[in-house]
Amino acid sequence: MNAEIIAIGTEILLGEIIDTNSAHIAQSLPELGIDLLYKSVVGDNLGRIVETLQRAWGRSDLTVITGGLGPTEDDMTREGICALLGEEPRVDAALETHLRGFFANRGYPMPESNVKQAWLIPSSRALDNPRGTAPGWWVERDGRVIVCMPGVPTEMERMWANEVKPELERRSDGQVLVTRTIKTVGIGEGTVDEMAKPLYATPGIGVGTYARADGVQLRIGAKAATREEAWSRIHPVEEELRRIFGSAIWGFDDDTMEGYLRDELVRRGQTLATMESATGGLLTSVLTDVPGASAYFKGGMVTYQTQTKIDAGVDPAVIEEFGVVSAETAGAMAKAARARFATDFGIGVTGVAGPDPEDGVPPGTVHVAVAGPGDGVSHLTIAMNSGRAMVKRRAVTTALLLLRRALMEGAG
Amino acid sequence: MNAEIIAIGTEILLGEIIDTNSAHIAQSLPELGIDLLYKSVVGDNLGRIVETLQRAWGRSDLTVITGGLGPTEDDMTREGICALLGEEPRVDAALETHLRGFFANRGYPMPESNVKQAWLIPSSRALDNPRGTAPGWWVERDGRVIVCMPGVPTEMERMWANEVKPELERRSDGQVLVTRTIKTVGIGEGTVDEMAKPLYATPGIGVGTYARADGVQLRIGAKAATREEAWSRIHPVEEELRRIFGSAIWGFDDDTMEGYLRDELVRRGQTLATMESATGGLLTSVLTDVPGASAYFKGGMVTYQTQTKIDAGVDPAVIEEFGVVSAETAGAMAKAARARFATDFGIGVTGVAGPDPEDGVPPGTVHVAVAGPGDGVSHLTIAMNSGRAMVKRRAVTTALLLLRRALMEGAG
């Protein structure tokens, strides 16, 4: 089954809103055995919407549309589909009752313009949307399917998961693609590729490598009539790759480094604290992006000024001798964080996020240090002047990887 | 002039990489007087690339392509354009010398596959790319233009700014669209709309309202033969809107709330400190996303555990009486931050980011407090269980707006 995705909305076309819906949908199509061939964006213009729909109808078995289901004149997805199929909309009594109830529950009358959200055409049925007023449309005719969902991501994601995906799964008579991602760190992509190469020729399996900020990923893919069959081909390859890469593997599929660190620290009953300047709180924010971080994370300090670092326990002699942006000061910050919060591990980050140099240190220079239970400190320095936001993100990833390394070494 | 944007790459199509290039380009087209009508994404498949290029060539004066200029077999943008135009590529001697020099400077030999990055066709000329090995292509024939740029955002952004945009500006013989955005806060969209309505009928001007997380924006747009003429129509409308909205206006165009707060605090010579739990460092990270924040931001604490809050100066009696997730504890945290770092203002944030309730408090409940120089404390509470990431972002925006309000009141 071939598919394409169309996002409708002038704000998306003009880049005022970044379209994350299309990526969300695209990522779940392979496991349904659906091949995605095109994505497109069109503004709130009926002529161009219809033109785009006609092309999709002509070439794709499945067209997934997001956006343009609101109540205003600018929302023209339903009108576009009516024009495409030459069908007349009518107000569905049950949908209208439901819609009026939605407004009544919130205690205000329904604007009459909203009534078009209760439209149906002969080829469409409504898709439930408990998170908003716009139901989706499942349109089916001549063996082709169009799915329309709201543009608001939370509404779209629920409708996709609860209404659309199960229906597409039921219809999947072809082959399903199952993928397994193995996440490694500490080995370059070329070497990973060399090490995995003996498995590339396994029949019925595809293996690829992908370089990411947090290490190199190996992806195993298998296409088969059933998920079980696909998994039965993946498992032996995964076992072999686990054997080859051993402790260089830190996670699988959707695992994140912050989730790995939480699991590992909680499992060991160990704790962590941070002291950061260049990353300005982002390191701590990422560490606590996973639920349950309070079980191991005791506290963090953002010491944006030199005096604040000293007040927080950093030895002023270290700053005096090596400078505030130095591996030594990062180490002293890691130790001070560990001491202040009485934790097993401490992370220190100091650097110049940019855009300007500070005290002669070029922007993009960041020192990261981890202090561990044995009073040992490890450092990493990055130098990459790629803009303030990117420098901060890169430094956070470096800190997470360095902590992981310290945990591994402590375990060894 | 009509334009469309095409992003080429299977990783973008499948949602493994979010395409930010298209938004970057789209945002700068209006000021060039260029109307963007379509955006699309196509994978690394020559047939589908050529099909997409043919449609663009048939309907758009300008097609802007990103991606597919790398050295591998998967990179087929150049091949697609050769097929579209029926032109043969040849290796350009000057480009090849430049390319080999790029590798020589880095001290390793050029893989022979890279030589296609030195290709030109009769209708193309190279666009300089000092940040990478792939030059862009400016393709022009029969009055139509195709621009090809690398997919790596930093390479693309430089090429767009230095090579492509100036050339498009030179050719702009039509009308330019100039827009001015005025950012307000504290007034609902319906009321902003009512207040601005008298100006909607101004000839040669468009005015619209847009609801955003940090308030309602007013956008004034004018299309004219020159930028000067467009600005001369915008200015009187802007003046009138400034008069109408007064202190509800906090910024213009690309201004951010964190930039506004930095400017305002630096101007007043006042300082800030934070103590956050639910937002886990994100508030401090956002505050320090703007350069120069160290001039007013003295320090932050992420007190993820109750004992850490007490150690940092929060009165345990307040936590005991009202609970750790309460407006009172947020206020005590704001005061403790202010006291600990000896600043003029302190922000405290406590809440339940989710996904699970804590001590009977539902997820998505966050209390934000600001303590000011007069020992006064103001609070805001949000309750919106929309996922951990969204709750954190929403709480940060609320904290910034609350600080802004405290600054305004202090000034009044």
Instruction: Tell me the CATH number at B235.
Output: 3.30.70.2860
Contacts of A389 in chain B (CB under 8 A): 289
Strand order from edge to edge, sheet including B206-212: B206-212, B215-224, B176-184, B249-252
B317 with B379, same domain: the answer is yes
pLDDT of the residue at A327: 96
Read off the pLDDT band of B31 (50, 70, 90).
Answer: confident
> Do A219 and A210 meet the contact criterion of CB atoms below 8 Å apart?
yes
Percentage of residues of chain A with pLDDT beyond 90: 66
A158 with A58, same domain: the answer is yes
In terms of Cα–Cα distance, which of A37, A188, A396 is closest to B43? Answer: A37
Burial A122-140 (b: 16+ CB within 10 A, else e): ebbebbebeebbbbbbbbe
Paired residues of A370 in beta bridges:
A347, A378
Subunit contact B285:A285, Cβ cutoff 8 A: yes
pLDDT at A411 over 70: no
Beta strand pairing call for A206-212 and A215-224: antiparallel
Lookup: tokens for A25: 């949908």
Alpha-carbon gap: A294 to the closest alpha carbon of chain B (Å) = 6
pLDDT of the residue at B278: 93
Read off the pLDDT band of A278 (50, 70, 90).
Answer: very high
pLDDT of the residue at B74: 83
**What is the chain A residue with the closest CA to B155?**
A386
A273 with A402, same domain: the answer is yes
Alpha-carbon gap: B15 to the closest alpha carbon of chain A (Å) = 4
Read off the pLDDT band of A36 (50, 70, 90).
Answer: very high
Lookup: tokens for B6: 């095409």
**What is the chain A residue with the closest CA to B39?**
A41
Mean predicted lDDT score pLDDT of chain B: 91
- The label of the residue with tokens 């060894």 reads A412
Contacts of A283 in chain B (CB under 8 A): 281
Select the more confidently predicted residue: A94 or B358.
A94
3-state helix, strand, coil in chain B (%, to 5): 45, 25, 30
pTM of the model: 0.77
Read off the pLDDT band of A173 (50, 70, 90).
Answer: low
Query: Which residue type, as a one-letter code, is found at position A163?
Result: E
Contacts of A50 in chain B (CB under 8 A): none
Q: Do you know the residue count of chain A?
A: 412
- The label of the residue with tokens 């492509």 reads B164
Cis peptide before B198 (omega within 30 of 0): no
How many CA atoms does the CB half-sphere of B57 hold within 13 Å?
A: 17
Beta strand pairing call for B35-42 and A35-42: antiparallel
Instruction: Tell me the CATH number at B366.
Output: 3.90.950.20
For B312-351, what is each residue's pLDDT tens digit?
999 999 999 999 999 999 999 999 999 999 999 999 999 9
pLDDT of the residue at B173: 65
CA separation for the pair A259, A289 (Å, rounded): 9
For B144-193, what is each residue's pLDDT tens digit?
999 999 998 888 999 999 999 989 988 876 677 788 999 998 887 778 88
In terms of Cα–Cα distance, which of B197, B371, B350, B370 is closest to B278? Answer: B350
CB-nearest to B283 from A281, A354, A387 is A281
B115 with B188, same domain: the answer is no
Angle subtended by helix axes A46-59 and A77-85, to nearest 10: 60
Distant-in-sequence, close-in-space partners of A47: CB < 8 Å, separation ≥ 6 = none
Last residue within a domain, chosen from B206, B225, B252: B252
pLDDT at A266 over 90: yes
Best to test chain A binding among B39, B183, B349 (most A CBs inside 10 Å): B39
Mean predicted lDDT score pLDDT of chain A: 91
**What is the chain B residue with the closest CA to A396?**
B285
Best to test chain A binding among B55, B181, B288, B301 (most A CBs inside 10 Å): B288
pLDDT of the residue at A310: 95
CB-nearest to B291 from A291, A305, A388 is A388
Alpha-carbon gap: A164 to the closest alpha carbon of chain B (Å) = 18
List the single range of A4-18, B271-285, B335-349 with lowest mean pLDDT.
Answer: A4-18
- The label of the residue with tokens 């490890």 reads A378
Best to test chain A binding among B24, B302, B384 (most A CBs inside 10 Å): B302
In terms of Cα–Cα distance, which of B300, B320, B296 is closest to B310? Answer: B320
Instruction: Tell me the CATH number at A57.
Output: 3.40.980.10
**What is the chain A residue with the closest CA to B35?**
A14
Lookup: tokens for A21: 């819906």
> Do A368 and A399 meet the contact criterion of CB atoms below 8 Å apart?
yes
- The label of the residue with tokens 């589909």 reads A81
- The label of the residue with tokens 């779209």 reads A156
pLDDT at A412 over 50: no
- The label of the residue with tokens 């890169």 reads A394
B246 with B286, same domain: the answer is no
CA separation for the pair B185, B260 (Å, rounded): 13
In terms of Cα–Cα distance, which of B371, B374, B361 is closest to B399? Answer: B371
CA separation for the pair A37, A26 (Å, rounded): 10
CA separation for the pair A127, A149 (Å, rounded): 8
φ/ψ (deg, to 5) at A309: -60, -45
CB-nearest to A299 from B22, B289, B308 is B308
Query: Which residue type, as a one-letter code, is found at position A357?
Result: P
CA separation for the pair A227, A221 (Å, rounded): 11
pLDDT of the residue at B89: 97
CB-nearest to A304 from B20, B297, B388 is B297
B233 with B314, same domain: the answer is no
What average pLDDT does range A282-288 have in this prediction? 96
Best to test chain A binding among B179, B285, B308, B349 (most A CBs inside 10 Å): B285
Angle subtended by helix axes B257-268 and B388-411, to nearest 10: 30
B345 sits in the region (left: phi over 0; alpha: psi -120 to 50; else beta) called beta
Contacts of B291 in chain A (CB under 8 A): 353-356, 388
**How far apart, in Å, do the first and last CA atoms of chain B sit?**
50
- The 3-state secondary structure of A22-36 reads HHHHHHHCHHHCCEE
Beta strand pairing call for B62-66 and B144-149: parallel
- The label of the residue with tokens 């393709």 reads B139
CB-nearest to B281 from A13, A283, A298 is A283
Subunit contact B304:A305, Cβ cutoff 8 A: no
A59 with A185, same domain: the answer is no
Best to test chain B binding among A39, A352, A358 (most B CBs inside 10 Å): A39
DSSP B34: P
What average pLDDT does range A202-208 have in this prediction? 87
Subunit contact A41:B38, Cβ cutoff 8 A: yes
Alpha-carbon gap: B136 to the closest alpha carbon of chain A (Å) = 21
For B15-24, what is each residue's pLDDT tens digit?
877 888 999 9
For A325-348, what is each residue's pLDDT tens digit?
999 999 999 999 999 999 999 999
Read off the pLDDT band of B131 (50, 70, 90).
Answer: confident
Alpha-carbon gap: B410 to the closest alpha carbon of chain A (Å) = 25
Subunit contact B13:A48, Cβ cutoff 8 A: no
B75 with B128, same domain: the answer is yes
For A247-263, what is each residue's pLDDT tens digit?
899 999 889 999 999 99
Lookup: tokens for B36: 């963007």
Contacts of B29 in chain A (CB under 8 A): 14
List the single range of A143-152, B105-114, B176-185 with lowest mean pLDDT.
Answer: B105-114
Domain span including residue A26: 2-171
A75 with A117, same domain: the answer is yes
Q: Do you know the residue count of chain B?
A: 412
For B35-75, what is each residue's pLDDT tens digit?
899 999 999 999 999 999 999 999 999 999 999 998 888 89
Best to test chain B binding among A22, A258, A284, A393 (most B CBs inside 10 Å): A284
Alpha-carbon gap: A177 to the closest alpha carbon of chain B (Å) = 13
- The 3-state secondary structure of chain A reads CEEEEEEECHHHHCCCCCCCHHHHHHHHCHHHCCEEEEEEEECCCHHHHHHHHHHHHHHCCEEEEECCCCCCCCCCHHHHHHHHHCCCCEECHHHHHHHHHHHHHCCCCCCHHHHHHHEECCCEEEECCCCCCCCEEEEEECCEEEEEECCCHHHHHHHHHHHHHHHHHHHCCCCEEEEEEEEECCCCHHHHHHHHHHHCCCCCCEEEEEEECCEEEEEEEEEECCHHHHHHHHHHHHHHHHHHHHHHEEEECCCCHHHHHHHHHHHHCCCEEEEECCCCCHHHHHHCCCCCHHHCEEEEEECCCHHHHHHCCCCHHHHHHHCCCCHHHHHHHHHHHHHHHCCCEEEEEEECCCCCCECCECCCEEEEEEECCCCCEEEEEEECCCCHHHHHHHHHHHHHHHHHHHHHHHHC
Subunit contact B38:A36, Cβ cutoff 8 A: no
Last residue within a domain, chosen from A154, A171, A188: A171
Paired residues of B183 in beta bridges:
B217, B251
Task: Give the other-Cβ count within 10 Å of B131's Cβ.
Answer: 14
What average pLDDT does range B282-291 have in this prediction? 94
List the single range of A20-24, A50-54, A233-237, B356-360 with lowest mean pLDDT.
Answer: B356-360
Last residue within a domain, chosen from B219, B252, B285: B252
Contacts of B58 in chain A (CB under 8 A): none
Query: Which residue type, as a one-letter code, is found at position B388?
Result: R
A207 with A275, same domain: the answer is no
Percentage of residues of chain B with pLDDT beyond 90: 66
Alpha-carbon gap: B44 to the closest alpha carbon of chain A (Å) = 10
**What is the chain B residue with the closest CA to A342?**
B308
CB-nearest to A20 from B18, B22, B282 is B18
Subunit contact B301:A305, Cβ cutoff 8 A: no
A83 with A140, same domain: the answer is yes
Cis peptide before A363 (omega within 30 of 0): no
Alpha-carbon gap: A93 to the closest alpha carbon of chain B (Å) = 30
Subunit contact A284:B279, Cβ cutoff 8 A: no
Give me the torsion for CA of B33, B39, B41, B47, rounded to 10°: -90
Domain count, chain B: 3
B184 with B120, same domain: the answer is no
